[in-house]
């Protein structure tokens, strides 16, 4: 690792602080606002809660971990299903229960260590589930890119599809042909270029921007005020199992981040603290109507390129995110982003999610000549993508990726040949 320009505890000078923090905010901006756009939540609340969750995370991890928390893509399908069955409030309640799982896992790790968790969630289980998450969303992305609503259905629109293609190509070019900070913001840049193109071909209605005020309080969703507090078994089994993926993702991010900044975050401040920080961030977010949170690879990439590891720069980005959430005009612009633009960027993004699951299998040298691995991955993929369902009653069903994740964990535990190897915690 090359020497840090600013180490974790270093404070930058004022002007430098502002520019570096804005850089981090824009790195996460596109992905963080995309999730609420896709599930019907407020982008302003997503920004606000990402900043608050990041501050909470940094405090809980004792100002030792320079990580930014943004909207989690793993919960797009569960939130959509929960919303369709019980309204958006159901999705928020489900996210609160996910945060409770984080807290329980953090408590157990604190008392017993983390190795049991890695035996429960090995790459052969988590990798295929991540692939399912990406591919299960593929139809949605293509539909958004090609079709426009007409009455109760939709129809193909070449002009809208062209906006999706321009957005997609821009994101690909930024990701492939640029090796600096631009390569870490393909989502944001793709959306901006797609938006400009959409404006040029006349498919954007700017009325909402003109009517919006410069300052606007985000739209909160408070339990007991904006929706009733109702918990069903189906809700729990739709949302909670996805913690299998997000906790694994969290551990992976902590290991990568630790290598970049030359620290062992699994041991200090400890995996229990970082998971707890992630969980409390998700709880606070869902309490006011924001999507579940996760540490962001985009911001870890910014750290790797700039060699600026300061936790205070991340805090600055969180403060800017909170401030931006109150800019009514900006939020109105986000609301007018054409569905085709979101669809174009989603084609790449959902594909990357699926490919990251495949990469996990490759990086961990998973042998598919081993029938055990072949069986586990095959069953997870077909159950998850095929939409299998266990319906016990009209109000209780387990389906899709949640069922796939549960089945994967069970198969890994009961099939002979369980790998006894422990996780590399980053130490030599």
Reported confidence tier of residue 180, pLDDT bands at 50, 70, 90: confident
pLDDT, one tens digit per residue, over 89-136 is 889 999 999 999 999 999 999 999 888 887 888 899 989 998 998 898
Q: What is the pTM of this model?
A: 0.84
The reply to whether 266 falls in a domain is: yes
The reply to whether 423 falls in a domain is: no
The reply to whether 133 falls in a domain is: yes
Reported confidence tier of residue 234, pLDDT bands at 50, 70, 90: confident
The reply to whether 8 falls in a domain is: no
- The confidence score (pLDDT) of residue 426 equals 43
The reply to whether 419 falls in a domain is: no
- Beta-carbon contacts of 228 under 8 Å, excluding residues fewer than 6 positions away, are 89
Reported confidence tier of residue 395, pLDDT bands at 50, 70, 90: low
- Give the residue among 80, 104, 77 at the shortest CA–CA distance from 402: 77
The reply to whether 323 falls in a domain is: yes
- The confidence score (pLDDT) of residue 60 equals 97
Query: Would you call 77 exposed, middle or buried from its count of C-beta atoms within 10 A (0-12, 13-18, 19+)?
Result: buried
Chain position carrying tokens 């205070």:
312
Region 224-247: what's the mean pLDDT? 84
Q: Quote the tokens at residue 266.
A: 């699994």
The reply to whether 98 falls in a domain is: yes
Task: Kindly state the DSSP code that residue 307 receives in the 8-state scheme.
Answer: -
Asked whether the predicted pLDDT for residue 378 surpasses 70, the reply is yes
- Beta-carbon contacts of 386 under 8 Å, excluding residues fewer than 6 positions away, are none
| 323 neighbors 21 (Cβ within 8 angstroms) | no
Angle at 392 between CA 407 and CA 286, to 5 degrees: 70
The reply to whether 215 falls in a domain is: yes
| Structural domain boundaries enclosing 365 | 14-414
Task: Give me the number of domains the chain comprises.
Answer: 1
Chain position carrying tokens 């139809």:
139
| 79 neighbors 254 (Cβ within 8 angstroms) | no
Task: Indicate if the alpha-carbon torsion angle 30, 35, 38, 44 is positive or negative.
Answer: negative
| 198 neighbors 338 (Cβ within 8 angstroms) | yes
């Amino acid at each position: 690792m090359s020497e840090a320009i600013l180490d974790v505890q270093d404070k930058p000078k004022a002007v430098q602080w502002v520019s570096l923090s804005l850089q981090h905010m824009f790195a996460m901006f596109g992905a963080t606002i995309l999730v609420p756009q896709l599930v019907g939540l407020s982008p302003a609340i997503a920004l606000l809660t990402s900043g608050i969750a990041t501050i909470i995370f940094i405090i809980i991890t004792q100002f030792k971990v320079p990580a930014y928390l943004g909207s989690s893509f793993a919960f797009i399908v569960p939130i959509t299903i929960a919303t369709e069955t019980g309204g958006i409030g159901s999705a928020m309640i489900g996210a609160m229960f996910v945060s409770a799982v984080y807290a329980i896992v953090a408590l157990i790790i604190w008392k017993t260590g983390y190795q049991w968790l890695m035996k429960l969630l090995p790459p052969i289980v988590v990798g295929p589930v991540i692939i399912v998450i990406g591919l299960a969303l593929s139809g949605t992305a293509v539909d958004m890119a090609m079709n426009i609503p007409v009455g109760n259905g939709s129809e193909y629109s070449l002009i809208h599809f062209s906006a999706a293609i321009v957005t997609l190509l821009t994101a690909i070019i930024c990701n492939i042909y640029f090796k600096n900070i631009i390569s870490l913001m393909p989502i944001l840049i793709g959306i901006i270029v797609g938006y400009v193109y959409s404006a040029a071909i006349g498919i954007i209605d700017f009325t909402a921007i003109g009517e919006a005020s410069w300052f606007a309080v985000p739209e909160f969703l408070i339990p007991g005020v904006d929706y009733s507090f109702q918990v069903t078994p189906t809700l729990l089994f739709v949302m909670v199992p996805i913690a299998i993926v997000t906790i694994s993702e969290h551990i992976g991010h902590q290991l990568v981040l630790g290598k970049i900044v030359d620290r062992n975050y699994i041991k200090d401040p400890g995996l229990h603290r970082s998971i707890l920080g992630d969980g409390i961030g998700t709880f606070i977010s869902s309490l006011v109507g924001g999507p579940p949170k996760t540490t962001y690879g985009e911001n870890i990439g910014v750290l790797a390129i700039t060699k600026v590891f300061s936790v205070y720069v991340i805090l600055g980005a969180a403060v800017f995110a909170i401030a931006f959430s109150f800019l009514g005009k900006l939020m109105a612009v986000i609301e007018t982003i054409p569905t085709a633009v979101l669809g174009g960027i989603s084609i790449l993004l959902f594909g990357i999610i699926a490919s990251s699951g495949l990469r996990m299998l490759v990086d961990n040298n998973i042998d598919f000549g081993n029938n055990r691995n072949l069986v586990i991955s095959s069953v997870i993929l077909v159950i998850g993508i095929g939409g299998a369902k266990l319906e016990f009653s009209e109000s209780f069903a387990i389906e899709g990726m949640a069922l796939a994740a549960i089945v994967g964990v069970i198969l890994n535990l009961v099939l002979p040949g369980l790998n006894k190897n422990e996780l590399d915690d980053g130490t030599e």
